[in-house]
Each structure stands twice: as structure tokens, then as C-alpha cells.
Structure 1
Amino acid sequence: MINRFRVPDDREAEFGERMRAAIELLAGKPGCEAVDLVRNLDEPGLWALVGRWRDVGSYRRALNGYDSKMIIVPVLSLAIDEPSAYDEPQRVGENLPRIT
């Protein structure tokens, strides 16, 4: 998973605190292999939460439950609105557009 965030300078401390809590909770979820908060080198207001999961089901299940709904989901709602699930091409297979 890759979730990107635009964070104004005056909100950086609050963002960091909320992210630390979310990362701590995510890291303890079954199937979480790694989770990191990274900052863009060229655009300091651009951040990304990068997680590596055993499988997509583990990631989606990590968002269930009271603690996740109170800590993780509100943080993820601040993310830039774009797809966030990625995987290795050989595991994805033929990636056809979804019909809506």
C-alpha cells in the first residue's frame, strides 16, 4: 500500500503524532511485513505511508475493528485521493480496468 499526503508546514507536528499512532497499530496487525512513513526529497510537504503486506486481504482486514476505525481510518482519510494498493506485476496478473 502507498498512501500519499500533502502536509502544510503548520500541520506537520500533528500529522507526525497521528501517523506514529497509526503506524504502531498497523505494525502489530497480522500480515504486516513493514510500514514506514517517508518524506519526498524534492517536495517536503509531500509524505507517503508505505506498507508491505503478506497479501491484500491482510491489509484490508487490518482496517477492521474499533482501534483501526478510530486511529488508522481517520489518518488515511487525509490521503490524496488516488489508488493505494500495489503489488508485483507477476502477482497482479492481467490488470484489466474495472467496469463501473
Structure 2
Amino acid sequence: MTERNAAPAPVRVVRLLRVLEGREAEFVESYQDVLERAVRSPGHLREQLCRSLDDPGQWLLTSEWESFEAIKRWRTDPDHAALVGPMNACLHDDRWTGVFEIVPEDPGARKPRQG
């Protein structure tokens, strides 16, 4: 989707997770440990953890990175598996992860709200 010679497009990682019942506090604590390291990782832009109001066992974790290469560096860091292990131990196996290129907004396509 990105043009050659253009700056790399930012990406968003989306993880849909199901936390084991009774392990919610442990999950959040281990997520905070991962987050502390992620924010120091080159190319990390932002991160958000959300819990479903309709189904409290379901969680959504999103992170934004400067490029696909930045997220690949984070995922292949030798310490990554050990770092995310305690967090993943709190999860059911039915989790899903996707990496998406963020399409730039066209400011001209936005119309001002009226009223």
C-alpha cells in the first residue's frame, strides 16, 4: 500500500484476548511490565488496553508503531518471549493478533461538523 521511496507507514497491532477467570489482576500487572519495556523500544508510539463491558473476560490490546520493521524488531528481541510469557500465561489459547498498516487521513475529505 505504501509507495516506494515514501516514509514507512505506521502500523497498528490489534490483539483480541480472553483472560482466564480470576487472573485479571495478574494479567494487568504483567501487561504493565511489558508496557514499561515496549515504550522504550525504538518505534513504539502508543498503546492501549481495553476490557469489554459486554464480556469482561474479553480484552483488546492495541499498539501503534512507526513501521512494520519497528514491530518486527520488538517481536524478535531476544528478551521478548520471556517478557510476554507471564502475560500470555493469563490467557486462553483462543487469542487473535493482526498487524495493520494505518492509512493516512485525507484532511480534505473531512467536512466540518455543523450545529
Shared fold (TM-score greater than 0.5)?
A: yes
Residue of 8, 19, 22 corresponding to 1:7: 19
> What number of residue pairs does the alignment pair up?
89
Contact 1:3/1:80 (8 A) holds in 2: no
Higher Cα radius of gyration: 2
Once the two structures are TM-superposed, the CA of residue 10 in structure 1 deviates from its matched residue by: 0.6
Higher percent of residues as helix: 1
Q: Which has the higher contact order (CA 8 A, sep 6+)?
A: 2
Residue of 20, 23, 26 corresponding to 2:35: 23
Give the aligned residue type for 1:8. L
Task: Give ranges in structure 1 of 5+ residues lacking alignment.
Answer: 91-100
Once the two structures are TM-superposed, the CA of residue 88 in structure 1 deviates from its matched residue by: 2.7
Q: Give the SS at the match of 2:30.
A: helix
Residue number in structure 1 paired with 2:73: 61
Residue number in structure 2 paired with 1:50: 62
> CA RMSD of the aligned region, Å?
2.2
Residue of 74, 79, 99 corresponding to 1:85: 99
Question: Structure 1 stretch 24-33 or stretch 80-89: which is displaced more?
Answer: 80-89
Identity of aligned residues (%): 26
Task: Give ranges in structure 2 of 5+ residues lacking alignment.
Answer: 1-12, 105-115
Question: Structure 1 stretch 22-31 or stretch 76-85: which is displaced more?
Answer: 76-85
